[in-house]
Amino acid sequence: MILRGGENISPAEIEEALLSHRAVADAVCFGIKDDKYGEVPAVAVTLRQDTETSELIGHCRERLAAYKVPVAVYVLPEIPRTPTGKVQRRRVGESIIGSRTAG
């Protein structure tokens, strides 16, 4: 669960919205620290075809409440998973957080 300024956000809801886009093959949502809200949603995706990250954010805006829209989209070659296929959400977030701070 992501806690943004007192609002609970389900990562699964954001992932579902992204997976409904034709270009998205896989998606994982995670929280990143934010000075104003405490935490905000961000996503990492793998793509079937090239698309702009702004298009993916727009896609989310059409399907989600404004506070649930990801502040950032990262394109990865693959989403890390355990041997049983479970997404390693913490690993994705930790590797990306080191390269960006929400603002």
Q: How are the residues of the chain apportioned to helix, strand and coil, as percentages rounded to the nearest 5? A: 30, 30, 40
pLDDT tens per residue, range 29-77: 999 999 999 999 999 999 999 999 999 999 999 999 999 999 999 999 9
Domains and CATH numbers, the chain: 2-97 (3.30.300.30)
CA dihedral sign of residues 4, 29, 32, 64 = negative
Work out the average pLDDT over 75-85.
92
More confident residue, 77 or 99: 77
Which tens digits make up the pLDDT trace of 10-22? 999 999 999 999 9
pLDDT for 95 equals 74
Q: How confident is the model at residue 98 (pLDDT cuts 50, 70, 90)?
A: low
